[in-house]
A and B are shown apart, each in its own frame.
Chain A
Amino acid sequence: MIGANMLLAAEDLAEEAAEGSQDLGFMIKGVFSFELNGVTLWITTSHICIAIVFLFLVIFSFFARAAIKKGSEVPSGFQNIVELIVEKLDGLVGGTMGWSARIFRNYIGTIFIFILFSNISGLFGLRPPTADYGVTFPLGVVSFSLITICKFRYQKVSGVIKGLCEPWPFWLPINLIGDFAVPVSLSLRLFANVLSGTVMMALVYGLLHAIAYAWPGVLHAYFDMFSGAIQTYVFCMLTMTYISDACGDEPAKLPKKSVA
C-alpha cells in the first residue's frame, strides 16, 4: 500500500518535472505562421526581439542626430553621451586596425552597438536575438566576406595564393580549412556564450522559481551585462584583427571612398 502510494507520488513528481522542463522558456518559440508559395514560414521570438532592438537603435540614432545637429561647442547633456560613444568606438577601431580604420570605422561601430544591445536585451525580458544561430551566423558570414574581399583587393590574387601556400605548398588544404573555419568559430562563440547565459537564467527562474527573489540580479549582471559586453568586444576585436591582417601594409595610393 505504502509502496503504491510512493510510486504514485514519484510519478506525480516526474510529471511535474517534465512539465517544468517543457516551459523552461529558453527555446525559440513561433508566434504566428503564414504561407508563402506553399511553404509555412514562422515569425519567431527572435524576429520580434530583433525588431525591438532595431527599433530602439533607430529611435536612439534619430535623437543622437538631433543632438549633434544643434550641438554646441561645449557639449552638454545628451550630446555628451553621443560624443563619448563615437569617440570610444573610433579609438577602439583606430587603435586596432591602423590605416584601414578609416574604411571600416562605420561597419565595426554598427555591429558593436547592435551586438551589445542584443546581448543586453536579456535584462529587459527579451530573449537575446544573438542566442539564435540564425542571427550570429550571418554576422560571421559578413565578416568572412569582408576579410576575403580585402584580401583580394589589397594583396591581389598572387598574394592570396602565396598566403595560402605558407609555409609550404602542401599546407594549402589546412590553410583553406583555417580560412573557412573563421566565420563558423566567430559566430558559434558568440551564439554559445549568449545561449549559455539564457539557458542558465531560464534554469534559475524555471526550477528555483519559489526562491528566485532579488538574488538572480547578480546572475543577470554577470550573464547579460559582463558576458555580453565581453563577447561583443571579442567579436569586434577578432573581426578587426582578421580584416587588418587581410589588408596588409598601407598601399601607396589610399582608396578614396569607404567600402563599408
Chain B
Amino acid sequence: MLRTLTALALLGLVAAPATAQTYPDRPITLVAPFPPGGVADQVGRPLGAAMEKLLKQPVVLQNKPGAGGAVGMASVAQSRPDGYTLLVALSSISIIPEADKLFNRQPAYTMDQLAPVALLSADPTVMVVKADSPWKTVKDFVEDAKKRPGQIAYASSGVYGTLHVAMEMFAVAADIKLRHVPFSGGGPAVTALLGNNVQALASGPGPVLAQIKAGTMRPLAGWGDKRIPALPDVPTFKELGYKDVEFYIWAGLFAPKGTPAPAINTLREATKKAVDDPDFKKTMENQGSPISYLDAPEFQKFWDVDAARLAVAVKKIGKVE
C-alpha cells in the first residue's frame, strides 16, 4: 500500500511544466503576508474560492506573516514568476520600502519586483477602542493622551504596517504621543485589544465589524474621505478637523514581475469575473468591505498615486522605534 501511495504521489508531482495554453494546470498559491484574521485573509480566501470555480484548479491561501508583511511580500517577490505564486497585499506594500529607505538599509523587496493584477477592495481604516473604555469620542481620547504622553498603547499590524502608519498619521496631526505595540497582523492586533493588552487600534472595518455590532468595541472615527457605509454614525477624522488624516487599507492581487503575459491575462480575466461572483459579493458585503475593483492598468495608476502619497506620509512621521 505504501508503495502504491508513493507512486501516486510521485505522479502528482512530476506534472508537465506549465505552458501558456495550459495555464493553470496545477494548484495556485495566494500568499497573504499576515496571520489569519486580518484584511488580506478576509479578502484573499473568498477571492480564492471564486477564482477556483473559474480556473478549475485549487486556489489555496497561505499565510506567511512577519515584519509587517515584509516576510510574505519578499517571498513572493523572489518566487518563480510562473503564475502559480501570487500575493494578496495591502497598502503597506508601498510603505515598507519607504521605511527601508528611511533607515538606509537593504530593502526586503522593491515594488518593481511585483506586477499588479487587480485592486479588490479599498476601505478606510477605523479607530476602535474597547466598549468599556472611558473614551466616547476622538476629543476624549486626544485630551487624555495629551495628559499622559506615551502612556496609551495601541496595537498594529507591524512596524510600518498599514495599521501603524494610519495611527501615527493621526497622532502627528493631533500632536499626541502614543505607545506602539506591533503584532504580526490585523488578526492578533484585534485579539490584543479585546484582551485589554492595548487600549486602541486602527483597523480595516472587516476584522472589527462583528465586534462593533456585538457591542464589545466602540468605533471613534474613520480615516476615509467619506463615512464607512457599514458604520454611518461614525465621523471621519476630516469632519473632526484633522485635514490630512486620510488612510485606506486597500487589498490587491499581485504577481511576481516577469510572470508570462498569457498567465497574467488569464488571472486578470478570472479576477474580473470573480468580483461579479454572487458569493464573493455577498461575503465581502457581510464583512463590511465592499468591492472596489480596478483592472491591472488602472490599478497600476492608482498604486503609483497612492505610493507617492504614502511616501510623503512616511517621511512626515519619520523614524519611529
Chains A and B are bound partners: no
